[in-house]
Amino acid sequence: MQVWDMRKTLDRSFPDGAELFAGLDDGTRRLLVRDPQPEWIDPMLATLTHDYFSADGWILERKLDGERMLSYCTGSEVTLLSRNRLRLTATYPEITDALSDGRAHDVVLDGEVVALVNGATDFNRLQQRFGINDADIARRSPIAVTYFIFDLLHLDGYDIRSLPLHVRKSLLQQCITFHGPLVYTEHRDRDGEAFLEEACRLRWEGLIAKRADSAYVSKRSPDWLKFKCSGEQELVVGGFTDPQRSRVGLGALLLGYYEGATLVYAGKVGTGFDTKTLLDLRARLDRLEQTTTPFSSPHRIRERGVHWVKPELVAQIGFSEWTPDGLLRHPRYLGLRDDKAARDVVREDRGA
């Protein structure tokens, strides 16, 4: 795969310090769009597939289990926003500081914030940083975070989303000093199946396969594909059951996903909780309780002691597979997510 050399003699036709474009050929330059840095760009999303492959023209990156975050950096100002536009600048002040320190370019970056334990991402650990809106408190947290940056969307007054991915990644390597919590997301361009086996041995979440010449589009796209090591996805909490025997808080969460405007029942999860989580969840769910079911097919729910809730909470769930009748097999609770709206949760293995 061709790698662009951006270190040629500077072309002064680009004002405002955009000298990194000097090495682009004429055809690629024509894809640049002169435009002020936007306040928001909807992120590009990957499509789940079980058809793993190696192919020319694709790159493979590590799939990360954390919080998607876009960074808007202009001058000394840095704004960090989650996938659903929650402000995270004070939640991750070490990342804010690193992006402010010595940066010579105005950029919009896309990446994932994670908590690493022995090289593997730990979403439960990362959750302990969620909801912190005081930078001083966040700095005292024992939970260290890492920002894996994998794309560059805007550079020095130019929208570069139409440039091929491999060009954007080359520019990314040059315009950011990667240090401290900032990590460039490395990639391979061959041996996809072998790389996936290696990723699973290392207890990674899987891989993301991306077309090397693809543009960045603000939607779910088949140009980005998820190769997962195990079943895992977000699901909406639509109810819960009473605890039994010595259990506290709740027995199980009742889960679903959206098909259009309809919340489809996907089964229950009763494992993966500790006592603190059970009590915290019950307190949150009690505030959302309602008298009617949010699910489209309540006859499939045969549990006792059911409480219905407004479908607002999104849980990360691990599982072995989907059953033929559309329920989760061997589900386990991994944590709550606040970076995705409930109405955006769909069943991923249908190519949604």
- Could you report the per-residue pLDDT of 119-147, keeping only the tens digit for each? 888 888 998 999 899 999 999 999 999 99
Could you tell me if 240 and 181 lie in one domain? no
Give the domain range for residue 117.
Answer: 19-228
In one-letter notation, the amino acid at residue 206 is G
In one-letter notation, the amino acid at residue 144 is A
CATH number of the domain that 70 lies in? 3.30.470.30
Q: Give the mean pLDDT of 74-102.
A: 94
* Domain's final residue, options 213, 228, 243: 228
> Which segment of 109-113, 174-178, 337-341 scores lowest on mean pLDDT?
337-341
What residue spans of the chain are helical by DSSP H?
26-29, 93-100, 123-126, 135-139, 165-175, 192-201, 275-286
Domain-located, residue 97: yes
Could you tell me if 247 and 166 lie in one domain? no
Domain-located, residue 4: no
Could you tell me if 235 and 223 lie in one domain? no
Residue 47 has φ and ψ, to the nearest 5°, of: -105, 130
Could you tell me if 217 and 323 lie in one domain? no
pLDDT(34) > 90: yes
pLDDT(325) > 90: no
How many structural domains does the chain have? 2
pLDDT(43) > 60: yes
Q: CA-to-CA distance for 154 and 109, rounded, in angstroms?
A: 8
Could you tell me if 318 and 184 lie in one domain? no
In this predicted structure, what is the pLDDT of residue 51? 84
pLDDT(352) > 70: no
Domain-located, residue 7: no
Domain-located, residue 305: yes
In this predicted structure, what is the pLDDT of residue 12? 38
In this predicted structure, what is the pLDDT of residue 4? 33
* Domain's final residue, options 228, 243, 274: 228
Nearest CA to 238 out of 278, 269, 283 is that of 269
In this predicted structure, what is the pLDDT of residue 299? 72
Could you tell me if 217 and 260 lie in one domain? no
* Domain's final residue, options 187, 204, 228: 228
Nearest CA to 69 out of 171, 220, 172, 182 is that of 182
Residue 334 has φ and ψ, to the nearest 5°, of: -110, -20
Q: Give the mean pLDDT of 68-92.
A: 96
In this predicted structure, what is the pLDDT of residue 33? 93
As beta bridge partners, residue 130 has none
pLDDT(332) > 80: yes
State the pLDDT confidence band at 3, using cuts at 50, 70 and 90: very low
Could you tell me if 172 and 199 lie in one domain? yes
pLDDT(283) > 70: yes
Tokens of 320: 């072995």
CATH number of the domain that 287 lies in? 2.40.50.140
In this predicted structure, what is the pLDDT of residue 351? 38
In this predicted structure, what is the pLDDT of residue 18? 64
Could you tell me if 322 and 266 lie in one domain? yes
Could you tell me if 276 and 308 lie in one domain? yes
Cα 225 off chain centre by: 13
Question: Could you give the residue numbers annotated as active site?
Answer: 63
Domain-located, residue 6: no
Could you tell me if 322 and 333 lie in one domain? yes
Could you tell me if 154 and 35 lie in one domain? yes
In this predicted structure, what is the pLDDT of residue 6? 34
Reported pTM: 0.74
